[in-house]
Amino acid sequence: MFATNEQLSKLSLSGVESALRFAQISLDSAERLVKLNLELSKQSLEGNVKAARDLAGVSDPQEVFSRVNQIASQSVEQAVAGSRSAYEIVSQAQTELSSLVEENVDAFNKALISSVETFAKTQQTPGADVAVVGLKNTLAAATAAVSTFTKAAQQAGQFADASFKAAGQATTEAVKATTAKRG
């Protein structure tokens, strides 16, 4: 009974620690996103005030058109940069949370196997060894499947990351090219 209570206590403590770590990762990421949002809002406001001042002093329509194109180009570049920063924050949080889940699944599997082995040793039931081996094989297969799924998800994430960065770069270059043609 003592070993079972001790195991349950360790399992509960591990669960609480995992929940706290999950909350910490989530709050850190939310804090970084809020800071980014505030910073981008401040930059946008400052940029809009500067643009309004610049445009207020221009009387030539061609110069106004040129400056509006330049302002639009800068705005798109800032939006792409802001999107990249937000994506990086979310991606980092996802990586940390995935790692936390993997650690917990591994720890749970080890604890489960240990508990089953201990139970099988204390019981003198015929065939218990076969059941333990079957359970170990099942857990090994499940762990392998989770590992394969995790690797596939990581590859998909890397592909999405590369695609996102390429799309952002292409957008920035397209806006620069369009602005250069108009200017």
Read off the tokens for 3. 């070993």
Closest CA to 98 of 161, 59, 151, 51: 151
Whole-angstrom Cα distance, residue 59 to residue 45? 24
User: Taking the complete model, does pTM exceed 0.75, yes or no?
Assistant: no
| 10: CB partners within 8 A, 6+ apart | 111
Q: Which pLDDT score, from 0 to 100, does residue 129 have?
A: 74
**Which residue stretches of the chain have pLDDT < 70?**
1-4, 7-8, 172, 175-176, 178-183
In one-letter notation, the amino acid at residue 162 is: A
How confident is the model over 102-145, as pLDDT tens digits?
A: 888 888 878 777 877 777 777 777 777 777 778 778 878 887 88
| Dihedral (CA of 74, 77, 81, 86) sign | positive
Q: Which pLDDT score, from 0 to 100, does residue 156 have?
A: 76
Q: Which pLDDT score, from 0 to 100, does residue 1 have?
A: 41
Q: Is 7 helix (H, G, I), strand (E, B) or coil?
A: helix
Q: Which pLDDT score, from 0 to 100, does residue 39 have?
A: 95
